[in-house]
Amino acid sequence: MKRFSQLAIPYIVWAAIMLVLPMALIALYSVTELGNTIISFSFTLDHYVKFFTDPDFLIILWRSILIAVKTTVICLILGYPVAYYIARCKEKVQNILVLCITIPMWINMLVRTYAWIGLLSEGGLIWKIFHFFGWNGSELLYTEGSVLLGMVYNFLPFMILQINTALCKMDHSLLEASADLGAAPAQTFLRVTLPLSLPGVINGITLVFLPAVSSFFIPKLLGGGQYFLIGNLIENQFITVGEWNFGSAISMIMAVIMMLLMMAVRRIELRNQGGKGE
């Protein structure tokens, strides 16, 4: 046992350097202000006050949460039926369908998002299809709809795979027992299948919402800089404005929001498993 503990030391050191240390530096930057010299600084909460007292920043935060919720709901509505269908197929067909879903994920997300620019821009394939059927509206690109489409496209596989995993692990004898007791297919789904698939649903919601709420390059590319989210604000503070302290404060606010969400999800999961959620 002691030998295995010693083997874990390099991984603990790596995690401390690559994960804990950067977060500690961001936390330090968020509550400090540089003085007249490089090594002098003072503690302050002005960066947090600045964020919560400026209505523009709060609007950006609300917009980010709202589009993340929309993305999560759409992914759940689209992903659950697909995962359910895959789970009911034969094993060989399941493997093929899961492969079809995961193949696009082998390509870098940035490259996949760039592809949507060509499809949605004026003269692109989707634009031509819409105009062929008589649509004469405004441009498809650089809108909230295009940003939402890009997020759903990139994060939908996470929802499908998580729900499919939960459905495949389900004890199918329970479905047979439900049918033997005279339950209709709809009753079996609502009272057996859906409750047993909730862990996958919860994991899928987590894996979709967290990256969606902090995404910055999808709204930057498909929104054309006109649709500003919290991830773009953080990037702007670090790279363009150079306000590292304020950018760190925003990052810590988002980190707290994400941790609270994960704690809530964990509590729901424990309650679903019959625990006390403590």
Give the model confidence (pLDDT) of 55-66 as tens digits.
999 999 999 999
10 Å Cβ neighbour count for 201? 19
Residue 237 exposure: Cα atoms within 13 Å on the Cβ side = 20
Mean pLDDT of 110-119: 88
**What is the share, in percent, of the chain residues with pLDDT greater than 90?**
33
**What is the share, in percent, of the chain residues with pLDDT greater than 70?**
93
**Shortest CA distance to 66 belongs to which of 144, 142, 140?**
144
The pLDDT, as a whole number, for residue 82 is: 95
The pLDDT, as a whole number, for residue 66 is: 93
> In the predicted model, is pLDDT for residue 122 greater than 60?
yes
Quote the CA–CA distance of 164 and 213 in Å, as a whole number.
24
Instruction: Note if the pTM is more than 0.75.
Output: yes
The pLDDT, as a whole number, for residue 8 is: 76
> In the predicted model, is pLDDT for residue 87 greater than 60?
yes
Quote the CA–CA distance of 205 and 77 in Å, as a whole number.
11
The one-character DSSP state at 181 is: T
Residue 118 exposure: Cα atoms within 13 Å on the Cβ side = 5
Q: Quickly state the pLDDT bin for 81 (edges 50, 70, 90).
A: very high
Mean pLDDT of 18-43: 79
Q: Round the average pLDDT of the chain to a whole number and report it.
A: 85
Where do we find the tokens 């704690």? 263
Where do we find the tokens 């649903």? 201
Q: Which of 38-42, 93-97, 119-123, 185-189 is the most confident on average?
A: 93-97
> In the predicted model, is pLDDT for residue 278 greater than 50?
no
The pLDDT, as a whole number, for residue 70 is: 95
The pLDDT, as a whole number, for residue 228 is: 84
| E runs forming strands in 26-120 | 32-34, 41-43
Contacts of 213 (CB under 8 A, 6+ apart): 64, 65, 68, 230, 254, 257, 258
> In the predicted model, is pLDDT for residue 111 greater than 70?
yes
Q: Quickly state the pLDDT bin for 35 (edges 50, 70, 90).
A: low
| Across 71-75, 80-84, 145-149, 272-276, least confident range | 272-276
The token pair at 60 is 């950006």
The pLDDT, as a whole number, for residue 274 is: 61
The pLDDT, as a whole number, for residue 39 is: 61
**Phi, psi values for residue 123, rounded to 5°:** 90, -5
Q: Dihedral sign, CA of 12, 257, 76, 231?
A: negative
CATH of domain 55-272: 1.10.3720.10
The pLDDT, as a whole number, for residue 1 is: 55
Q: Quickly state the pLDDT bin for 199 (edges 50, 70, 90).
A: confident
| Across 103-112, 122-131, 151-160, least confident range | 122-131
The pLDDT, as a whole number, for residue 183 is: 79
